[in-house]
Amino acid sequence: MKKFLYFLGITGFLFFIFLSPIKAEDKTVELKFYYGIGCPHCALEKEFLKKIETKYQDKVTVSEYEIYYNQENAQIFSDLVKELNIEVAGVPLLI
């Protein structure tokens, strides 16, 4: 009988933990989008990100960094890729 009550207590506790609603924190997610003017893949991703930003306007912000014609952004991109130790063939890149 003790084992049964113990089992029932543990099962109830696990049920409560795993099935209770989890509330996300009220924070904004910042996405950094690196792209190049004239890149067709970048254009598609940019369009998708605009939809996400519109749908979740108070939860998501997208910062855009054009790297083909902006040397400062290109350097930031290069430094970031090295810092994160990721292999990138080009843009688009979303972090």
Tokens found for residue 78 = 């290069």
Indicate which CATH number applies to the domain containing 84: 3.40.30.10
In a domain, residue 31? The reply is: yes
Domain hosting 52: range is 27-94
| Model pLDDT, residue 18 | 57
> Each residue's pLDDT tens digit in the chain (95 positions)?
555 555 545 655 555 555 555 555 678 899 999 999 999 999 999 999 999 999 998 899 999 999 999 999 999 999 999 999 999 889 999 99
The candidate with the shortest Cα–Cα distance to 94, out of 26, 30, 24, 38, is: 30
pTM of the model: 0.71
Contact 60, 29 (CB under 8 A): yes
Strand partners, 34: 65, 93
User: Pairing between strand 93-94 and 60-66?
Assistant: unpaired
Give the pLDDT confidence score for residue 89 in this predicted structure.
85
